[in-house]
Amino acid sequence: MGAGHTHKLYRRGVSPVHGLPPHTKLAAVLAFVVVVVSTPREAVWAFGGYAVLLGGVAAYARIPTGFVLRRLLIEIPFVAFAFLMPFVVPGEQTEILGISVSVPGLWGAWNVLAKGTLGVAASVLLAATTELRELLLGLQRLRLPPLLVQIASFMIRYGDVITDEMRRMSVARRSRGFEAKGVRQWGVLAKSAGALFIRSYERGERVHLAMVSRGYSPVASGTGGAPRSMWIIDEVAATRTQWARAAALPAAALVICLLGWTLR
């Protein structure tokens, strides 16, 4: 994995959060999400506390609020699903602005929105402070099966290949005067998608044959079957201080969660 695989979610910078080993950040975010999901939905104030904690992390990492908010748009489909719940979930009814809605549905929508948004925000902060290669190193350090780490690394590399193929096809369409202005152009776009699938599949076969010719074997043990030149080498170990810094977020969230269960 080289520098060319820097993803758009990553924001280059120098901060204490950027400097933490990737496996400590992965463990901290996972623990934070587990705590958030374990919080009773009735403890509304607790979710505000979690949001304040994430805001503190963003400030500590020097990540602008607008940067995080723009990337939260990825959860719009879940927001749409949550807004439907008060109208489809059966149970006690109440009126809001003259509209009859379900009380269990309102609580369900709040549960999905609050916990989903906090989980996505935590993931955005993780991605904003950790490069893709470092994320893979962190997964390896956390003893994720080597084969899964290899699959993830190949997926990232091949994603760049597919993106470049899409760009070339788009340039070719525009050079022939094509512009997607309405439903009539959907047929061309559908054919382009089919052509992209076939080209990607054929490219994948060629890449696999090239890997096999260089000694790759998916059934090999230890390194996921990759020869040494393809290993993801991780020599970074976290100190106790770094683990303590990473654990500050889930530890503070755990205190809020316990208070939420106590004061509900």
Angstrom distance (rounded) from CA 146 to CA 237: 18
- Residue spans of beta strands (DSSP E) within the chain: 93-96, 99-102
Q: Are residues 130 and 152 in the same domain?
A: no
The confidence band for 218, taking pLDDT boundaries of 50, 70 and 90, is low
What's the structural domain count of the chain?
Answer: 2
Is residue 47 packed enough to be buried (19+ CB in 10 Å), middle (13-18) or exposed (0-12)? buried
- Locate tokens 């809001």: which residue? 96
Q: Are residues 207 and 244 in the same domain?
A: no
Q: Are residues 132 and 55 in the same domain?
A: yes
Q: Are residues 109 and 130 in the same domain?
A: yes
Angstrom distance (rounded) from CA 80 to CA 46: 24
Q: Which residue has the higher pLDDT, 165 or 243?
A: 243
pLDDT value at residue 234:
54
pLDDT value at residue 244:
95
Angstrom distance (rounded) from CA 164 to CA 167: 5
Q: Are residues 65 and 16 in the same domain?
A: yes
Contacts of 139 (CB under 8 A, 6+ apart): 23, 26, 148, 149, 152
Calculate the average pLDDT of the chain: 85
pLDDT value at residue 254:
97
Q: Are residues 15 and 124 in the same domain?
A: yes
Q: Are residues 164 and 84 in the same domain?
A: no
Q: Which residue has the higher pLDDT, 200 or 242?
A: 242
Is 0.85 surpassed by the pTM of this model? no
Tens of pLDDT, residue by residue over 142-161, are: 888 888 888 888 888 788 78
Q: Are residues 9 and 72 in the same domain?
A: yes
**Poorest-pLDDT segment among 71-85, 219-233, 243-257:** 219-233
Tens of pLDDT, residue by residue over 33-62, are: 999 999 999 999 999 999 999 999 999 999
**DSSP string computed for 187-243:** HHHHHHHHHHHHHHHHHHHHHHHHHHHTT--TT-SSSTT--GGG---------HHHH
Measured CA to CA in angstroms, residue 63 lies from 43, 57, 59, 132, 173 at distances of: 28, 9, 6, 17, 38
β-bridge mates for residue 96, sequence order: 99
pLDDT value at residue 178:
82
Whole domain around residue 39: which residue ranges?
A: 3-138+238-263
pLDDT value at residue 7:
67
Could you tell me how far CA 13 lies from the centroid of its own chain?
20
Tens of pLDDT, residue by residue over 157-212, are: 788 788 888 888 888 888 888 877 777 888 888 888 898 889 888 888 888 888 88
